[in-house]
Amino acid sequence: MRTMQLLVSLTIGLGAGAVPAAAECAICAQSVVMNQDLADCFLQKFSDPEAVSGEAVAVDLSRCEKSRSIVLALPTPKAAVEEPDTRFVLSRAQIACLRDKLEAEYIELDPSARIDLGTCR
């Protein structure tokens, strides 16, 4: 909880002054791990680009996850299941980029997938 408060404080502080570009955002995530439930929740919360205020946004998806703890009964050796991220900070550009990636038809989020945001500008 203290970490989230710190992230929110940093986000508020960043919103008050000059904010670096997405590539220079020191506290922004470079990748996130999502499953389908968290992706659906993210898309609902951030479907409208005008709803995003500030240049760095603390994203909290912890209240909308449903299947975070589901583990495959017999996973294949190459199918490493990563625990989804529920709290992270993204720039406005990264939010738009993540939204586009999650809406793409080719993305496979079952059971989870790491999504690279390092290329989002």
Following DSSP, what letter does each residue of 34-78 receive, concatenated? E-HHHHHHHHHHTS-GGG--SSEEEEE-TTS-SSTT---SS--TT
pLDDT of residue 120: 81
Q: Tell me if 38 is assigned to some domain.
A: yes
Overall number of domains in the chain: 1
Identify the domain containing residue 77 by its residue range: 2-116
Predicted local distance difference test score (pLDDT) of residue 66: 63
Q: Is the pTM of this model over 0.85?
A: no
18 located within any domain: yes
Structural domain contains residue 25: yes
Task: Tell which residue, 55, 121, 113, has the closest CA to residue 94.
Answer: 121
Q: What is the pLDDT tens value at each position of the chain, 121 positions in all?
A: 444 444 444 444 444 333 344 446 889 999 999 999 999 999 999 988 777 888 899 999 999 856 444 454 555 555 567 899 999 999 999 999 999 999 998 999 988 999 999 888 7
76 belongs to a structural domain: yes
Domain-embedded: residue 36: yes
Q: Are 117 and 97 in contact (CB under 8 A)?
A: yes
In whole angstroms, what is the distance from residue 32 CA to residue 7 CA?
Answer: 16
Establish if 121 belongs to a structural domain: no
